[in-house]
Structure 1
Amino acid sequence: MSKALKEGLEGEEQRLHRIRITLTSKDLKSIERGNRRVERVSDTTDDEVSSTTKCGYPVCMFELRIYKRLIDLHSASDVVRQITSINIDPGVEVEVTVSNI
């Protein structure tokens, strides 16, 4: 690999990204476990993390409750790889949005 290409890849790794993780589930315990696992990974990297946001009260319609959590990170792309390798309980939908700062 050429030297310029290697430097370009290293620069890509060090660039900060805005990462938004959305967790959605019908089971409160599952979503809280997933939330703690994601926060634990982000705490080990010492990146800027905004607190977890609970999205309003559970939506109740015919006794169907849906819980949602938002986590915002400002970190390098290697943290995204660590987060996507986390095992999260079945029934928890995870949406990861990555954008450049």
Structure 2
Amino acid sequence: MFTEVRKFLGRRLESGLEVTDYEPPERFGLRVVEGPVPFEVRHALLASNGGTTIEVSIEGDPGGFFKVAAPLVAMQAKRQLENDFGAMKTLLESRP
């Protein structure tokens, strides 16, 4: 298990995650085992036009505040993933 800390919708969230799938360089998956929002996420890495495309699938069952705000949560999660992967792309492409 490892701990992820992130800011989401203005709130600091700390979650314990475990790896559920790891098949480099094709895929990996994670599941929240401790934290406020239980979810599982799978990443598939696909060759694409001389580069790599990442497909992400997330399943979860939000409770409390996150259940009430489900549409906002989904939209913000998508935006945050796009920003995170955009930053990763910039870092990877800037390496010699």
TM-score, length of structure 1 as denominator length? 0.32
Structure holding more helix per residue: 1
Relative contact order higher in (CA < 8 Å, ≥ 6 apart)? 1
Give the greater-gyration-radius structure (CA). 1
Structure holding more strand per residue: 2
